[in-house]
Chain A
Amino acid sequence: MKGIIFNLLEDVVVEIHGDAVWDALLDQSDLDGVYTSLGSYDDAEIMGLVSAAGNALSLTDDEVLRWFGRRAIPGMAKRWPAFFVAHQNTIPFLRTLNSVIHPEVRKLYAGAYCPHFDFTSPTDGSLLIGYRSPRQLCGLAHGFVLGAGDHYGEAVTVEHLECMREGDARCLLSVTVE
């Protein structure tokens, strides 16, 4: 996992709960917390932090990821404004994930693994996002989608039609904008 994700998590935790909470999470997870945006760190470390946060907040891992993803968006919009200003709505923005955002991510974080999303557009105007990743971070993706909705001021509903964590071959998120 790229250090940037740790940094974003730290920012969100510190902003909402203060830096003592972040220190406590590091202690509980037995981590030294040295993360630079360009470094790569063990996936287990982020999951350890997520679990610790879940324990502290009485949330499941999935709920923590959603919360984190949603809250991380404003920071991302500040850090990479170009991706966000190119669109006026949530769905067109999401559709550029593979073609625009991922290449940019790879540009900065050489060797970064980026999940591939399959997009389909049912006639009702919703968006179906298929997601396959050994990391099974569909909760994070879910949170990012909600955060994007917040960013564009749209009420977005995300439904988890299929989920790898429940034995499906992939995750399938249905995104509807009211």
Chain B
Amino acid sequence: MSADTGGVSHSQQVIDSLAAENKLLSRRIEREQRIRKEAEEIAEQGLRELYNRQRELEFLSQITTMANQAGSARELLASALEYISRFAGWSAAHAYIVGGQGATRRMWPSNIWYSDPGLDISALKAETAGAIFDEGVGLPGQVWRSGEPVWLEDLTTSDNFPRHEGAVQSGMRAAFSVPVLVESEIAASLEFFGPNPTPQDAALLGLTAKAGTQLSRVIERDSAKARLYDAMHDSLTGLPSRPHFMREVEQALREYSLDRTAGFGVLFVDLDRFKMINESLGHAAGDVLLTQVGARLKAAIKQGTIAELPNSGDSAALFARVGGDEFTLLVPRIRRPEEAFAVADRIHTVLSEPFRVEGHEVVTGASIGIALSSSEDRSADELVRHADMAMYHAKARGKARSEIYDSNMQDRATRRMALYSELRAAVDHEAFTVYYQPVVSLADDEIVGVEALVRWPVSPTTVRLPDEFIPAAEETGLIVPLGSWVLREACQALCRWNTTRGGRKPLTMSVNLSPRQLAQPDLVEEVRAIIADTGIPLGLLSLEITESMTMEDPDFAADVLNRLRALGIRISIDDFGTGFSCLSYLHRLPLQVLKIDRSFIARMETNMESLQIVNTIVALARSLGLEVIAEGAETIEEVERLRSMGCNFYQGFYGSPPVAEERLLLLLASSP
């Protein structure tokens, strides 16, 4: 019994102990399973971290390489935005840049973008281009205020994302942004956009923020460079230099885009006659003049002579030297063209007083172009270019003038550039021809000579007249080779004709000289060579100058003309009567011929005053022993009137218009 009992209890004991053992083993298996899973989890976590760290290292090393190789901050931002977007799988990215000082300090769109190929985010770009943010406003403003990354899980529900319309139109729903800090000051922010509402990814945010730190080095380098520019002044005049000036204009543009009443003007001031002064008195003298001009302008600004002095806190007008004889002036607080013209007039006044340069009295002056801030101006470069263009127009209209930019100037400038290049090609290919207008003797109606006049055939039916291209040739300096070519052609032609004239008096040749040619230091040598090469006999060649050409520097002009005279060349003064026609001054020049301007001849029969002027010039010429040629005689009445006054010669349609050589030869054959 007891055995049975013992047996039962033994079996029970065995069962119990097996059960206990089973339970123990189950717990052990369960524990082992949990150990395995935990070990796996630790390993997985380790792998994940390793992977992330490797990616992070690769990412940062890539960004560092970019930062080291970057040419400029802009280039760097562009490549970094693309790399980060692709790395993180975000669709679009843009950078905001802090600009302006004090009250105008804002986050400005850089318009540097990345977007996935094929993705159209033009709506977001357009809205961003006009979105300037103050501290705390919008995504850039929040990054600015906190100096920390900001994540917007869903743009449609964010109450501080003013650009959500453009973003949603472009299919963007989430955004995040990180600061680019330079010495703990915000310099820029990078913002990224994705198509789905996305919960914050702390790792991505942290990584991108690290990229921002790397990028800041380059931004810092760039801004240090900019500060260096700021400190840089033109060593000659002590005025600020072009980079400094451009930065100030940028700043003014920024203020203007925030406050449309903060209009301003840019004046482009180009000295007149500087090149001539430089060439005739030497470069050292030119430098002295520039220094004096700089000093005078600086003093005038300081005294408030040119622009009103600023109230405290306002910015003052700023003069800079931006090129050889080019100065620029930034005038704050002007809105109307009259105000800008008043400033320009005061600059003309300041510069009109003669300068003393190395014992010489030098009279200069300036051509001034004006551009006023307008909502269309996108950049400082553009605005200054417009002022430059206006200056060019002022210069074309004569000395000491001011012009204000208008949009037609751009078109004209484009056309002018086209003309320049055509003209250059034509000069290279000698694609010109010379026409000749007979000079007729009033004593016997015989053709005694011709004036050479250049023509530019551009097609079999179209010939360009000098008015259409000589000003451009003068501006580009192409007049120098063109003028030489015409002179050579004319001399050769004259020699051809004169060999077949038999016993008749040889013809004379008259050729125009341009201001640019007269200023060429080697003009006399060039003419001497042409005379020698063509064998044109002494006394047959006249060079025509205008009064105004000799006015700028009478001594220089007299010297050149005397040396030409010494070569046996006759000097005639063209369009006499239209300038100052100062007698004493006329006397100083070695003249042989006066040409009466066509405008007097045309009015002579109807206007008593014109008639008297012609009469006076003829009498004056006779008393000075000069020959007189009347230009533009078109009718028999005019010709007879001139004959009765004792005028020697005439040119004009009554005799013949300018004609090609073949036609001239026919005229010569039929001339009495």
Judged by a CB distance under 8 angstroms, whether A86 is at the interface is yes
Q: For chain A residues 12-59, which have a beta carbon within 8 Å of chain B?
A: 36-38
Q: Given A86-B198, A86-B199, A107-B52, are A38 and B47 also a contact pair (CB < 8 Å)?
A: yes
Judged by a CB distance under 8 angstroms, whether B44 is at the interface is yes
CB distance from B483 to the nearest CB of A (A): 72
Q: Given A86-B199, A107-B47, are A38 and B40 also a contact pair (CB < 8 Å)?
A: yes
CB distance from A106 to the nearest CB of B (A): 8
B-side contacts of A100, CB under 8 Å: 89
Main secondary structure of the interface of B (DSSP, over half): helix
Q: For chain B residues 183-204, which have a beta carbon within 8 Å of chain A?
A: 196, 198-199
Could you tell me the distance between the alpha carbons of A99 and B194 in the complex, rounded to whole angstroms? 13
CB distance from A112 to the nearest CB of B (A): 11
CB distance A37 to B47 under 8 Å?
no
CB distance A99 to B89 under 8 Å?
yes
Q: For chain B residues 83-107, which have a beta carbon within 8 Å of chain A?
A: 89
CB distance from B653 to the nearest CB of A (A): 81
Could you tell me the distance between the alpha carbons of A86 and B48 in the complex, rounded to whole angstroms? 20
CB distance from A13 to the nearest CB of B (A): 14
Residue from A38, A92, A99 in contact with B44 in the complex, judged by beta carbons closer than 8 Å: A38
CB distance from A81 to the nearest CB of B (A): 12
CB distance B51 to A107 under 8 Å?
yes
Judged by a CB distance under 8 angstroms, whether B36 is at the interface is yes
Judged by a CB distance under 8 angstroms, whether B43 is at the interface is yes
Could you tell me the distance between the alpha carbons of A107 and B48 in the complex, rounded to whole angstroms? 6
CB distance from A5 to the nearest CB of B (A): 14
CB distance B199 to A108 under 8 Å?
no
A-side contacts of B40, CB under 8 Å: 36-38
CB distance from B245 to the nearest CB of A (A): 50
Could you tell me the distance between the alpha carbons of A86 and B197 in the complex, rounded to whole angstroms? 8
CB distance from B192 to the nearest CB of A (A): 16
A-side contacts of B196, CB under 8 Å: 86, 92
Could you tell me the distance between the alpha carbons of A99 and B90 in the complex, rounded to whole angstroms? 11
Q: List 25 A-B contacts (CB under 8 A).
A: A36-B36, A36-B40, A37-B40, A37-B44, A38-B40, A38-B43, A38-B44, A38-B47, A85-B199, A86-B196, A86-B198, A86-B199, A92-B196, A99-B89, A100-B89, A107-B47, A107-B48, A107-B51, A107-B52, A108-B44, A108-B47, A108-B48, A108-B51, A110-B47, A110-B51
Could you tell me the distance between the alpha carbons of A99 and B199 in the complex, rounded to whole angstroms? 16
Which residue on A lies nearest to B54, using beta carbons? A107
Could you tell me the distance between the alpha carbons of A54 and B40 in the complex, rounded to whole angstroms? 29
Which residue on B lies nearest to A3, using beta carbons? B40
Could you tell me the distance between the alpha carbons of A86 and B201 in the complex, rounded to whole angstroms? 11
Interface centre among A85, A100, A107, A110 (most CB of B within 10 A): A107
CB distance from B155 to the nearest CB of A (A): 16
10 closest pairs, A vs B, by CB?
Answer: A107-B51, A37-B40, A108-B44, A38-B43, A108-B47, A36-B40, A107-B48, A108-B48, A38-B40, A99-B89
Q: What string of 1s and 0s marks CB contacts (under 8 Å) between A81-124 and chain B?
A: 00001100000100000011000000110100000000000000
Which residue on A lies nearest to B39, using beta carbons? A36
B-side contacts of A85, CB under 8 Å: 199
Could you tell me the distance between the alpha carbons of A100 and B199 in the complex, rounded to whole angstroms? 14
A-side contacts of B44, CB under 8 Å: 37-38, 108
Interface centre among B40, B89, B198 (most CB of A within 10 A): B40
A-side contacts of B198, CB under 8 Å: 86
Could you tell me the distance between the alpha carbons of A37 and B46 in the complex, rounded to whole angstroms? 14
Which residue on A lies nearest to B197, using beta carbons? A86
Could you tell me the distance between the alpha carbons of A165 and B94 in the complex, rounded to whole angstroms? 48
